[in-house]
Structure 1
Amino acid sequence: MQPNDLERIARQIRRRDLQAVVEAGAGHIGGEMSAIDILTALYFHVLRIWPEEPRHPDRDRFVLSKGHTACALYVTLAKRGFLPEEEISTFLQPHSRLNGHPNCNKVPGVETNTGPLGHGLPVSVGMAKAARILGAAYHTYVMTGDGEMQEGSNWEAISSAAQFGLNNLTLIIDHNRFQQGASLSDTNNLAPFRSKLEAFGWEVTEINGNEMSEIVPALQHRADRPHGIIAHTNKGHGISFMQDRVEWHHKVPNAEQYQIALAELSESL
């Protein structure tokens, strides 16, 4: 797909994500909006996947370590054909398999359960190491939040990935500069990330994580060592009153805000 096609799909995913959060009365919309361009590029251009065979052994793996943004993943999976699009209406409803954090035992296309931060990257290192042991050709991608990088388990995993020479592993840091309750600069700010990853022996690319022309080549890049992508994004991207506002980590739009957001996300569809 061309970048403009991917951008159109990303807008459609944003609209459906917005609708799902409003209908459910809960969600983590700010971090979902920052990540959707990357999710779109992965599932509609980069990943080698078969929606009709979600456990195909040759599939590429993607782990959403920032699991609280599950709704964006569900909408993306549905649009890609892993589950019925109408099922998105059950998000957070009683007995729904579309819970607030992804569950690999219930949702096709989810590789591992995530929610407690700092777990997705260590699991992904295991997946990439397993591919090496088995002689498998699949590539493993994992997305963390930038606040999540405060978890020490991530840095142990980064060290291990370099030690094992896992050039079949790509880490994407959704660097939207905000976490729950505060900006990174007001908490435990580990940015800039580039020098730290490089110090562990990783190859690093920095991109605008809301720009398809930069996202796609970064995701497709292959190196002789683990690859880290620092994706500079905007919390609440695409919705003017949400962008770069800490309260939209998990705030839900009211009726008036919902209509404004829908109108903004309808532009250029």
Structure 2
Amino acid sequence: MPVLGRLDSHARREEVIAHIAEAARQIRIQDLKLVHYAGAGHIGGDFSAIDILATLYGSVLNVTPETAEDPERDRFILSKGHVAGALYTTLATFGFLPVEELATFLKPLSRLNGHPNRNKVRGIEANTGPLGHGLPIAVGHALSAKLDVSRRRTFVLTGDGELQEGSNWEAMMAASQYELDRLTVIVDRNRLQQGATTRETNDLDPLDEKAAAFGFAVVEVNGHDHGELLDVLSSVPFRPGKPTFVIAHTHKGHPISFMSNNVAWHHKVPGGEQFEQALSELESLNPNV
């Protein structure tokens, strides 16, 4: 698989969107293989988040493998750390780690643990896994940038089920209090969590009104539409003095026919015919449709 580079704002929008779409397809292929051969992972959540990750790393984030230690780089934090496989395959696709290393996922002594570890892998900004920790860490990064009078931005991706953790709402109050308008919270709103829908577990609606009440500028987007994602994520902050809350409507397991919107694929592993079918669907996918 060729390593892709980030396309900046000088490229044509159509070119950037095509670049992101192909990156997302390649990331899904690598992630499917990673979970299949490891015999473990969270492929449903991986696949719901990959279009967001491909957009961020493909064009939005001001960070590359060469600038991964630059103090002025943008920060990305994967709060839903159980989808580490999606982050690893994204980082490999954009050159932060060797593609060949993906084969070591979850193996003894591998750097690629079931949850991301910033002390082991270049490009990872925070150790995450226990849900509800990533957003508070992101608020700290954003506050640090404000104190430094820096233009660097902080993006954090959370699961919607994860928002049932109270630590997120405490962090959101702090983000609003300190007017952290260079903080962007992206919610992977696939409406499913382990074993049930979010509505059955602890209903979040009306999520947009709740986030707005906590002082955020709120925008909703199709989380699988690369053009919409690019336009929204390239435009933050939306309102001076307010952090941004992006509700990305997604489907767990997207775009695989037998995985999409199926709660069983929270941490199920595709094997045999399922693996071959999913691989065939991804290989034949036209990423620009």
**TM-score in terms of structure 1 length:** 0.98
Matched-pair contact (CA < 8 Å) for 2:19–2:58: no
Aligned partners of 1:176 and 1:4: how far apart in 2? 24
Matched-pair contact (CA < 8 Å) for 2:60–2:234: yes
Matched-pair contact (CA < 8 Å) for 2:220–2:248: yes
For 1:142, what is the secondary structure of its paired residue? strand
Establish whether residue 215 from structure 1 lines up as the match of residue 232 from structure 2. no
Matched-pair contact (CA < 8 Å) for 1:50–1:56: no
**Structure 2 partner of 1:257:** 274
Establish whether residue 176 from structure 1 lines up as the match of residue 193 from structure 2. no
Q: How does 1:1-269 map to 2 (within 5 A)?
A: 1-221=15-235, 222=237, 223-224=239-240, 225-267=242-284, 268=286
Residue 2 of structure 1 deviates from its aligned partner by 2.3
For 1:132, what is the secondary structure of its paired residue? helix
Can you list the C-alpha shifts for 1:111-156, whole angstroms capped at 9, x where unaligned? 0100000000000000000001111211000000000000000000
Aligned partners of 1:124 and 1:252: how far apart in 2? 31
Can you list the C-alpha shifts for 1:55-77, whole angstroms capped at 9, x where unaligned? 11111000000000001100100
Residue 193 of structure 1 deviates from its aligned partner by 1.0
Matched-pair contact (CA < 8 Å) for 2:104–2:112: yes
Matched-pair contact (CA < 8 Å) for 2:29–2:282: yes
Q: Where do 5+ consecutive residues of structure 1 fail to align?
A: none
Query: Match of 1:177, as an amino acid?
Result: R
For 1:213, what is the secondary structure of its paired residue? helix
Can you list the C-alpha shifts for 1:227-260, whole angstroms capped at 9, x where unaligned? 0000000000010100001110000012100010
Aligned partners of 2:198 and 2:172: how far apart in 1? 20
Residue 5 of structure 1 deviates from its aligned partner by 2.1
For 2:65, what is the secondary structure of its paired residue? coil
Aligned length: 269
90-99 or 212-221, which moves further after superposition? Answer: 212-221
Aligned partners of 1:125 and 1:203: how far apart in 2? 15
For 1:187, what is the secondary structure of its paired residue? helix
For 2:219, what is the secondary structure of its paired residue? strand
Query: Match of 2:81, as an amino acid?
Result: G
Query: Match of 2:234, as an amino acid?
Result: Q
Can you list the C-alpha shifts for 1:162-206, whole angstroms capped at 9, x where unaligned? 000000100000000100111112100112310001111110000
Task: Work out the percentage of aligned pairs sharing the same amino acid.
Answer: 55
Query: Match of 2:51, as an amino acid?
Result: D
Query: Match of 1:174, as an amino acid?
Result: D
Aligned partners of 2:66 and 2:245: how far apart in 1? 30
Aligned partners of 2:187 and 2:175: how far apart in 1? 16
Matched-pair contact (CA < 8 Å) for 1:17–1:75: yes
Residue 24 of structure 1 deviates from its aligned partner by 0.1
Query: Match of 2:224, as an amino acid?
Result: N
Matched-pair contact (CA < 8 Å) for 1:117–1:148: yes
Query: Match of 1:245, as an amino acid?
Result: N
For 2:116, what is the secondary structure of its paired residue? coil
Query: Match of 1:154, as an amino acid?
Result: N
**Deviating 4+ runs (over 2 angstroms):** none
